[in-house]
Amino acid sequence: MKLEGLSLLGSGRVQPGGAPQTAVESATGVALEPKFYWASPADVDRAVKLATAAFGEYSRWSPSRRAGLLRRIAELFEANAPALIARANQETALPVARLQGETARTCGQLRLFATVLEEGSWLDARIDRANPARQPLPKPDVRSLLVPLGPVAVFSSSNFPFAFSVAGGDTASALAAGCPVIVKAHQGHLGVSELTGLVVQQAVRDCGAPEGVFSVLFGPGREVGMALVKHPVIKAVGFTGSRAGGRALMDASAARPEPIPVYAEMGSINPVVLLPGAIAQGPEKLAENLAGSVCLGVGQFCTNPGLVLVENSAATEVLLQTLEQAITAMPAGTMLNENISAEYQAGLKKFAQLPGVRRVSGTPVAGHNRATPTLFITAADQFLAQPELMTEIFGPCTLVVRCASRPVLLAVLEKLEGQLTATVHGLPEELAASRDVLAALANRAGRVLVNGFPTGVEVCPAMTHGGPYPATADGRSTSVGTRAIERFVRPLCFQNFPENCLPDELKDANPLGIWRLVDGKLEKD
């Protein structure tokens, strides 16, 4: 696989055009080879036309054939992992060990969707049999299942160059659903995007899929990205990134003649409530674990715990002292890219200037894109009075809010926006007695955790990685876990169809052996 710096259009490449762009090594700022070229509006149009042409055939592929494509992508990704990891390490400064783990996760996701396709219950196949003798009117034969929406635009995230990027969860779930995918590559890891694109392109070829099922476009979000979202044949959008970026896509979709679903995962501050019993039981250990979660991966997770709520007590003082020491002692890390590093510094500066907010951090370290772990401490009344404190600082940083009492804690929770996650630490008996806290967290989050930390999102059928706005554009969706496939489908109903015109999933004999709701009862045989 050789980098050419060119967008991938179906089975081909875009010709170079416009000013050449430079990819840089995050840890040094040094330019990397080759130069990259942005896609033009005409390229966007060609990619979309290819995707439309591919949809007719690909949407009718059998589940097992689609599963084969996903598995082939995983195989080729693994086969090319050394090159992918090396380039990702250069472009994002993420450590090799982390990137090895992310390789496993990315390939695991692809294979998980393959098993989902073969298991088949996700299709929600339903059959209501006819009853010609029913009075006063005969009952028709009505059947339905979920069908793909059409071509999907996927916007890669910066912080997972594999798992939320070109062949990441959005791409895997959209391809699984039967939708062609056009990826708008993230500008922070252009080389990885091209390499991954080549892997998928090869898999598409190997599996005999129509070429337009997959393209990767390089270019700025405001131009290439917006052209995609506004294109009439694009039927859904997947995005992981900033709130401003996600909202811009939502607004662009809402202004289309035909609005389309936008699934934007926009991050959150992921509140962690530490109940008094949990603190008293072991304040030092809790503080150390918390500091570890805050600084994991240089704090560059959407689920990073950016807000910690504690009630005041003697043990709370011990917890906070330990937390100060732990955060101060944490080594500085290199952030993903210059934009993210600059925004982290700006966020720290903004918080530090607010009244009633104390800042604790280690000594800054020289070096490109270096982030110093930082702790802020404030009181509930200051927090409630300054809504800026509810905004996310993306990086190794958290804000502790001291609450004088349980009612104050609940008042703070009531003010929080929608969140990806919310966490509570408590002893068994205090959890059972804290239904009010659990309910307040559940009302505003997509995932609630007990006695754990939100970083680390398990990829499994029950996972939700999504939450009420503004954590995600659409709190009814998740971008991690097998429910992610449901974002790209709609129900289609067949009335009085002859058996030979029905899709296999809805034929009387159930040739695919999938679970179906027949006359209101789930059955498989």
Contact call for residue 497 and its own copies (CB under 8 A): yes
In three-state secondary structure terms, 214 is strand
In three-state secondary structure terms, 23 is strand
Q: Pick from 139, 205, 349, 415: which binds its own copies (CB under 8 A)?
A: 139
Triad 62, 64, 66: Cα angle to 5°? 75
Tell me if 184 sits within 8 A of 154, measured CB to CB: yes
Contact call for residue 136 and its own copies (CB under 8 A): yes
Contacts to its own copies from residues 454-473, by CB under 8 A:
456, 458, 460-464, 466, 468-470, 473
Stretch of 74-82, 211-219, 294-302, 474-482 contacting its own copies, by CB under 8 A = 474-482
Give the shortest CB-136-to-its own copies separation in angstroms. 7
Q: Pick from 498, 509, 511, 525: which binds its own copies (CB under 8 A)?
A: 498
Contact call for residue 285 and its own copies (CB under 8 A): no
Contacts to its own copies from residues 46-65, by CB under 8 A:
56
- Please give the positions annotated as active site: 265, 302
Contact call for residue 449 and its own copies (CB under 8 A): yes
Contact call for residue 492 and its own copies (CB under 8 A): yes
Q: Which is nearer to its own copies, 31 or 254 (CB)?
A: 254
Tell me if 126 sits within 8 A of 517, measured CB to CB: yes
Q: Which is nearer to its own copies, 78 or 128 (CB)?
A: 128
Q: Which is nearer to its own copies, 205 or 490 (CB)?
A: 490
Q: What is the DSSP string of 161-179?
A: TTTTSTTSHHHHHHHHHT-
C-beta atoms surrounding 245 within 10 Å: 17
Tell me if 197 sits within 8 A of 93, measured CB to CB: no
Contacts to its own copies from residues 338-397, by CB under 8 A:
none
Tell me if 340 sits within 8 A of 306, measured CB to CB: no
Contact call for residue 337 and its own copies (CB under 8 A): no
Q: Which is nearer to its own copies, 4 or 430 (CB)?
A: 430
- For the beta sheet containing 236-240, the strands, ordered from the edge strand earlier in sequence to the opposite edge, are 12-13, 8-9, 214-217, 181-184, 152-155, 236-240, 262-265
Tell me if 424 sits within 8 A of 275, measured CB to CB: yes
Please give the Cα distance from 434 to 409 (Å, whole number): 12
Residues forming a β-bridge with 274: 310, 425
Please give the Cα distance from 180 to 151 (Å, whole number): 5
Residue 305 structure tokens? 């715990």
Q: Pick from 2, 355, 366, 496: which binds its own copies (CB under 8 A)?
A: 496
- Distances, alpha carbon 8 to alpha carbons 3, 47, 84, 204, in Å: 11, 9, 17, 12
Give the shortest CB-490-to-its own copies separation in angstroms. 5
Give the shortest CB-350-to-its own copies separation in angstroms. 21
DSSP state of 472: B
**Dihedral of the CA atoms 322, 323, 326, 328 (nearest 10)?**
-110
Contacts to its own copies from residues 390-429, by CB under 8 A:
418, 428
- Binding letters toward its own copies, positions 170-209, x by CB under 8 A: ----------------------------------------
Tell me if 278 sits within 8 A of 425, measured CB to CB: yes
- Binding letters toward its own copies, positions 90-109, x by CB under 8 A: -----------x--------
In the chain, what is the greatest distance between 2 CA atoms, to the nearest angstrom?
Answer: 82
Contact call for residue 493 and its own copies (CB under 8 A): yes
Residue 13 structure tokens? 């490449």
Contact call for residue 226 and its own copies (CB under 8 A): no
Contact call for residue 491 and its own copies (CB under 8 A): yes
φ and ψ at residue 428, rounded to 5 degrees: -50, -45
Give the shortest CB-377-to-its own copies separation in angstroms. 27
Contacts to its own copies from residues 233-252, by CB under 8 A:
250-251
- Binding letters toward its own copies, positions 143-162, x by CB under 8 A: xx--x-x-------------
